[in-house]
Amino acid sequence: MPELPEVETTRVGLLPRLQGRTLRQIVVRNPRLRWPVPADLETRLAGQSLQDMTRRGKYLLFDFGATTQIVHLGMSGSLRFAEPGEPAALHDHIDWLFDDGTTLRLRDPRRFGAVLWTDDAIRHPLLAHLGPEPLTPAFDGDYLYAQCRRRNAAIKQVIMDAAVVVGVGNIYASESLFHAGIRPATAARRLSRPACGRLAEAIKRVLTAAIAAGGSSLRDYVASDGELGYFQLQTRVYDREGLPCKTCGTPVRRIVQGQRASFYCPACQR
């Protein structure tokens, strides 16, 4: 699933070519995504210029002035630029055609993504209750400690809760906990303030490194230029069950939490 680094990589790849361009037409081949594509999407957006593109958690926000387009890539979605005259493939559901001939194309094999519009992004139901962005000053050890004090859930589940902090997906949660020296099943309320400080800093470092590496090469994820991300090649514990820890040599263990695999080193993580 595209997570925060993959979505941020996509945003950075798209913005330079699209900012200031006027949207000429939207071609919707299949409106049946996670939520139906609004029938009036083109009416709302066509003829408007893209002023900016931001990100909130895993949502891309296309700022067309009075109207904001919300795009979520779901489980397997990707946005990329189509070549002139390139025919649409089976899972290419939406094209955005701009005034300079650029075509932006959404591919979503599983159709768990979303393309919506809103005139109030701050209060939109999908965005209004999200936690702070992890790479901003609003997310730090003190904030995380306050959140953990009232939660009995395992710390990995807490940092993957978008109401606590956005964008910490499964890979990045496992990696951040490794760097902070915390086991994923530890009850959040048991963490000390210093431990929360280490974890907040680890999350920032891991996500920053993942963005620099272009995200993770998982399933169908590609960046806007069609290139795969390579952060997965740098992981310390994720998907390394039974392999020696890169720090101490102890075999990495795997457990299942909330139907997702968690990986940790029993020696480095206490």
Domains observed in the chain: 4-123 (3.20.190.10), 141-264 (1.10.8.50)
What is the mean pLDDT of the segment spanning 186-211?
Answer: 96
Which pLDDT score, from 0 to 100, does residue 3 have?
82
Q: Which of 17, 110, 204, 260 is an active site residue?
A: 260
Q: Which of 2, 5, 109, 184 is an active site residue?
A: 2
Which pLDDT score, from 0 to 100, does residue 224 have?
45
How much is the pTM? 0.88
Query: Residue 191, SS3?
Result: coil
Active site residue 2: yes
pLDDT in tens, 188-198: 999 999 999 99
The CA-atom distances, in angstroms, between 133 and each of 92, 107, 156, 177, 239 are 30, 26, 17, 18, 26
Query: Which of 1 and 103 is assigned the larger pLDDT?
Result: 103
Query: Which of 269 and 214 is assigned the larger pLDDT?
Result: 269
pLDDT confidence of 174, banded at 50, 70, 90? very high
Active site residue 156: no
Q: What percent of the chain has pLDDT over 90?
A: 84
pLDDT confidence of 177, banded at 50, 70, 90? very high
Which pLDDT score, from 0 to 100, does residue 232 have?
53
Which pLDDT score, from 0 to 100, does residue 213 have?
79
pLDDT at residue 228 is higher than 70: no
Long-range contacts of 52-57 (CB under 8 A, 24+ apart): 52/15, 52/19, 53/11, 53/14, 53/15, 53/18, 53/19, 54/11, 55/4, 55/7, 55/8, 55/11, 56/121, 56/127, 56/130, 56/133, 56/166, 57/4, 57/127, 57/130, 57/133, 57/162, 57/166, 57/167
40-44, 66-70, 213-217: lowest mean pLDDT where?
213-217
**Each residue of 165-183: b (16+ CB within 10 Å) or e?**
bbbbbbbbbbbbbbbbebb
Rounded Cα distance between 233 and 2, Å, is: 16
Q: Which of 55, 58, 198, 240 is an active site residue?
A: 58
Q: Which of 3, 6, 8, 175 is an active site residue?
A: 3
